[in-house]
Amino acid sequence: MTVTELPGSGTEEPRAGTGADGAAEEYSVWPATTTEEPGGRVLIAGVPLDDIADAHGTPVYVLDEAEIRYRCRTYRSAFPDADVHYAAKAFLCRGLVRLVDEEGLGLDVCSAGELELAVTAGFPPERILLHGNAKSPADLDTALRLGVGRIVIDSASEIARLAAAVGPRGHQKVMLRVTPGVGAGGHAKIRTGTDDQKFGLSLRDGHAQHAVARVLGQPQLELTGLHCHLGSQITGTKPYLTALRRLVGLTARIRDAHGVVLPELDLGGGHGIAYRPGDPVLDPTALARRLRAALAESCAAARLPVPRLLVEPGRAVVGPAGVAVYRVLAVKTTPGRAFVAVDGGMSDNPRPALYGVRYAPRLIGRRSSAPTARTTVAGRHCEAGDILAEDVALPADLRPGDLLAVPVAGAYHLSMASSYNLVGRPPVVAVRDGAARLLVRRETLEDLRARDVGL
């Protein structure tokens, strides 16, 4: 197993898990503490995944605490003069809230639910941003009651509503989300920086400039900066550099028109990660270096002081730290393809159905000497599109009772889960230093029945 020193930590932690045969590439998208025993058992942080499956049932999500901490520290090292806010929509629970707090990151939330969970878990509200294109009265009331640090205004109609909620003697720091006209992201449904979608105020048609004037006209609202989010699974730096230059241009126009110099600039997140070996990724250190240079150059040309930068990684922090474990329930062979049905599916991971996301599942718990076969891993739900992984190479001798593990399952799995077919959502188990602890328990039939009061 290879190791890399943690930036600024003075310690070493594993950065590339390997099996007994040294197959580092095969495990390159797994948590760095992953190891494989000669018999095929796979361990994360020294904890066998089949032991977790036996103790907690399947499906089950396993989170490697060391991997999350490493990624938090990587971002803090890459952006030492910026604020790094973890995007809670990727996945949130009280245990993760405490971990993110301990690593010195802020939080980016988009609902009263996420905000309440974070604050009641002890997270400082002044280090939280609230955003969203359609904030409910409960969202805004909760943010003001708890003293959230920033509220990101997303539409013109929100300005007067927020000002009224703050009251004439109140005060709230706000940012303004703009769409810089930059299309980026791994799928059309997750590109949010263009003009023709629901988020933000357009630079191109003047709505952003008009909204700035309206915010500045509300004395109880303090405009601290501009915000944008270009999309998700972005693997190149060019879209961020283009957006940065356009936002600096707007900042200069605000200064010229209103005599106000905004001290902050938030470029959102969407940093791409690898779901399969060989997939492109966005290097946060390289991104930070290029953003710093572009920000200094653009601000110098516009005769502006350099604003404080904010970034909001979510998937890039928690995604590679998670592994989903399923048990095979049925195997069906058709001409040219094998279907392997597992005990989860689109209720715990809707992303393949929504975005066509591709994963690299593998057999764990035993070693197979059988040749690989073209296999589709199907879910248990009553939808033909309930597919977790299509046309992947898996051992031809897979059988009911086997365990399959899907790496890179820490983000947008459980956070987007449902109880479709009244199948309860899976638990989350954290592993660290050879020990496992339950973070989120399994949703039970009793939980589902308790919500149904209309008898």
Structural domains in the chain? 2-64+320-450 (2.40.37.10), 65-318 (3.20.20.10)
pLDDT at 337: 80
Q: What is the mean pLDDT of residues 372-380?
A: 95
Name which of 85-89, 103-107, 229-233, 292-296 the model is least confident about: 229-233
Give the pLDDT confidence score for residue 455 in this predicted structure.
72
- Give the Cα separation of 361 and 347 in Å (integer): 18
Q: What is the band of 204 on the pLDDT scale with cuts at 50, 70, 90?
A: confident
> What three-state secondary structure class fits 49?
helix
Collapsed DSSP state (helix, strand, coil) of residue 376: strand
263 assigned ligand-binding residue: no
**125-135: per-residue pLDDT in tens?**
999 999 998 89
Identify whether the C-beta of residue 87 lies closer than 8 Å to the C-beta of residue 313: yes
Pairing of strands 83-87, 308-311: parallel
Does 412 count as an annotated binding residue? yes
pLDDT tens string 322-370:
999 999 999 998 887 889 999 999 999 999 988 888 999 999 999 999 9
- On whether 116 is known to bind a ligand per the annotation, the reply is no
Q: What's at 314, amino acid-wise?
A: G
Is 90 exceeded by the pLDDT of residue 16?
Answer: no
Q: Which residues contact 188 (CB under 8 A, 6 or more apart)?
A: none
- The answer to whether residue 435 scores a pLDDT higher than 90 is yes
CA angle 248, 89, 216 (to 5 degrees): 35
**221 within 8 A of 268, measured Cβ to Cβ:** no
46-72 pLDDT, tens digit each: 999 999 999 999 999 999 999 999 999
How many C-beta neighbours within 10 Å does residue 122 have?
Answer: 10
C-alpha span between 405 and 32 (Å, rounded): 15
Using an 8 Å Cβ cutoff, are 38 and 47 in contact?
A: no
Question: Residue 448 — φ and ψ, nearest 5°?
Answer: -65, -40
Q: pLDDT (tens digit, 9 = 90+) per residue, 236-273?
A: 999 999 999 999 999 999 999 999 999 999 999 999 99
Which amino acid is present at 44? Answer: I
Contacting residues for 164 by C-beta, under 8 A, at least 6 apart: none
The two structure tokens encoding residue 345: 């599916």
What are 68-88's pLDDT values in tens digits?
A: 999 999 999 999 999 999 999
Highest mean pLDDT among 95-104, 177-186, 348-357: 95-104
Contact 355, 186 (CB under 8 A): yes
Does 312 appear as a known binding residue? yes
- Phi, psi for 191 (deg, rounded to 5): -100, 120
Q: Flag the least confident range among 5-14, 30-39, 163-172, 270-279.
A: 5-14
Residue 426 annotated as binding site: no
Q: Are strands 172-179 and 403-407 parallel, antiparallel or unpaired?
A: unpaired
User: Counting beta carbons within 10 angstroms of the beta carbon of residue 234, is it exposed (0 to 12), middle (13 to 18) or buried (19 or more)?
Assistant: buried
Q: How far apart are CA 320 and CA 295, in angstroms?
A: 29
Among 206, 221, 201, 194, residue whose Cα is nearest residue 156:
201
Yes or no: say if 220 and 269 are a contact pair by the CB < 8 Å rule.
Answer: no
Q: Which two tokens stand for residue 403?
A: 């365990």
Q: What is the mean pLDDT of residues 142-156?
A: 96
**Element (DSSP H or E) covering residue 72:** helix 65-78
Active site residue 382: yes
- Alpha carbons 441 and 443: distance in angstroms, whole number: 6
- Of the residues 72, 93, 299, 382, which is catalytic? 382
pLDDT of 313 over the 50 cut: yes
Q: What is the mean pLDDT of the chain?
A: 91
Is the confidence at residue 314, as pLDDT, over 50? yes
Q: If you count DSSP H runs as helices and E runs as strands, how many of each does the chain have, helices first?
A: 12, 23
The residue among 362 and 191 whose pLDDT is bigger is 362
CB 324 within 8 A of CB 413: yes
Say whether 351 counts as a known binding-site residue.
yes
Cβ contact 61:324 at 8 Å: yes
